[in-house]
């Protein structure tokens, strides 16, 4: 089950959990309200090879996801592993939603709370599906187990290109803030 929390400000290893002391958990409803991030749970088999197709199909159909593939992120399975991990952890936006379903392993998506610019860390474990809205500042890191396998979805032909911060003038960012009722420069 996905969990989320405000991150501490420590510059310790990105793979640590970076919980505050005392902990500042973020409930799912709060996460959605503050950031627009959506969450679904999809039952997945122990080895990650099968999942609840019926539940997933409904989400695919409702949201128009026509593309699907799988990423296996480990040192010996992902080409240019170090370079890709560096890119994943560089703060960025996309012009479209970023949709991931964790089927094996685990990892962290960090998203910026748009009013305060604080980082919220979202932990993905098998069965967790998250949808990051277009235009949200975010990044991804493996945790200290160094492994995740995830399904990726997209509407139409996939565009994975990250747009690194600063991207405040990008239409997806402008729309994101408008949708969240965030006043720029206020
Ligand atoms: C768990 S998927 C790897 C991270 C990724 O694809 C991405 O775009 C992060 O922003
Ligand atoms: Fe991304």
Q: What is the pLDDT of residues 75-110, one digit of tens each?
A: 999 999 999 999 999 999 999 999 999 999 999 999
Nearest CA to ligand 1 atom 7: 88
Cβ < 6 A, ligand 1 pocket: 71, 88, 98, 100, 107, 138, 140, 148, 150
Cα 125 to chain centroid distance, Å, stands at: 12
| DSSP symbols for 64-94 | T--EEEEEEESTTTSTTHHHHHHHHTS-EE-
pTM of this prediction?
0.97
22 CA distance to ligand 1 middle (Å): 29
**What's the whole-number mean pLDDT along residues 113-135?**
98
Residue 18 counted as an annotated binding residue: no
| 186 has pLDDT over 70 | no
For residue 150, the ligand closest to its alpha carbon is 1
- In what order do the strands lie in the sheet containing 128-132? 38-41, 128-132, 98-105, 148-154, 67-73
114 CA distance to ligand 1 middle (Å): 20
If pLDDT is split at 50, 70 and 90, which confidence band does 184 have? confident
Instruction: Go through the domains of the chain in sequence order and give each one's CATH number.
Output: 36-155+162-179 (2.60.120.10)
Residue 87 counted as an annotated binding residue: no
Predicted confidence at residue 1, as pLDDT, reads 81
Q: What is the pLDDT of residues 25-39, one digit of tens each?
A: 999 999 999 999 999
ipTM: 0.97
Query: Burial level of 76, CB count in 10 A (0-12/13-18/19+)?
Result: exposed
101 CA distance to ligand 1 middle (Å): 11
For residue 70, the ligand closest to its alpha carbon is 1
């Amino acid at each position: 089950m996905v969990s989320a929390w405000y991150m501490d400000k420590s510059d310790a290893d990105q793979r640590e959990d970076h919980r505050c002391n005392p902990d500042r958990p973020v409930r799912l409803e709060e996460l959605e309200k503050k950031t627009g991030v959506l969450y679904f749970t999809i039952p997945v088999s122990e080895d990650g090879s099968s999942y609840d197709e019926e539940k997933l199909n409904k989400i695919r159909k409702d949201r128009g996801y026509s593309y699907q593939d799988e990423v296996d992120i480990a040192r010996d399975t992902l080409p240019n592993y170090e370079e890709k991990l560096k890119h994943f952890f560089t703060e960025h936006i996309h012009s479209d939603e970023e949709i991931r379903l964790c089927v094996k392993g685990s990892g962290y998506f960090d998203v910026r709370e748009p009013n305060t610019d604080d980082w919220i860390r979202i932990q993905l474990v098998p069965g967790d599906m998250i949808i990051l809205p277009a235009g949200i500042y975010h990044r991804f890191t493996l945790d200290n187990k160094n492994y995740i396998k995830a399904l990726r979805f997209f509407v139409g032909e996939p565009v994975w290109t990250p747009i690194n911060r600063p991207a405040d003038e990008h239409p997806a960012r402008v729309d994101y803030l408008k949708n969240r009722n965030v006043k720029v420069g206020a």
